[in-house]
C-alpha cells in the first residue's frame, strides 16, 4: 500500500501532466522552481520538495484555502489570488478538485485565443 507521501507525489505528477497537456503549456524552471507556463506566464508552481501546487484562483481561492494546509504564498503572490495547496493528507475528492484549480489558473493567465482553443477541444470541435 502506498504511503501518503507516495500518493502525494503520484498526484503531483498527474497534475503536472494535466497542466502540460493544456494548449501551448510548457515546463520551465526559473529560480530553480518547477513551473508550467503558457506563453511567458506561469500558471502552476509545482512543489517537488514538499509535494504541492501553487495556482492563481480568482474565483476558487476561498475553496482552495479551505483544504488542509492550504495558504496564501509569500512574495506578494497571495494578494493576487495565488494559493498554495500541499498534496499530502488530501482526500481523493480534494485531490480531484485540484485539476479544476489548474484549469482555472490556466484560463486566468492564458491568452483568450488559447482558452477558446481549449473550449473547442473540450466540446470536440
Please give the pLDDT value at position 66: 95
Domains defined along the chain, listed by start: 4-117 (3.90.1150.30)
* pLDDT at 53 exceeding the cut of 90: yes
23-47 confidence digits (pLDDT tens): 999 999 988 889 999 999 999 999 8
81: helix, coil or strand? Answer: coil
Higher pLDDT, 75 or 16: 16
Higher pLDDT, 14 or 2: 14
Rounded CA gap, 120 and 61, in Å? 26
Please give the pLDDT value at position 97: 95
Please give the pLDDT value at position 29: 94
Rounded CA gap, 24 and 81, in Å? 23
Rounded CA gap, 71 and 61, in Å? 10
Instruction: Give residue 1's pLDDT band: very low, low, confident or very high (50, 70, 90).
Output: low
Please give the pLDDT value at position 93: 86
Amino acid at each position: 500500500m502506498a504511503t501518503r507521501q507516495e500518493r502525494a507525489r503520484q498526484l503531483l505528477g498527474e497534475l503536472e501532466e494535466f497542466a502540460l497537456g493544456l494548449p501551448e503549456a510548457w515546463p520551465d524552471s526559473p529560480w530553480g522552481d518547477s513551473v508550467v507556463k503558457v506563453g511567458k506566464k506561469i500558471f502552476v508552481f509545482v512543489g517537488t520538495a514538499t509535494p504541492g501546487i501553487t495556482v492563481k484562483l480568482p474565483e476558487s481561492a476561498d475553496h482552495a484555502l479551505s483544504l488542509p494546509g492550504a495558504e496564501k504564498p509569500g512574495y506578494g503572490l497571495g494578494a493576487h489570488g495565488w494559493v498554495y495547496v500541499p498534496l499530502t493528507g488530501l482526500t481523493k475528492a480534494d485531490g480531484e478538485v485540484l485539476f479544476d484549480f489548474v484549469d482555472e489558473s490556466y484560463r486566468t493567465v492564458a491568452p483568450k485565443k488559447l482558452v477558446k482553443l481549449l473550449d473547442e477541444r473540450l466540446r470536440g470541435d
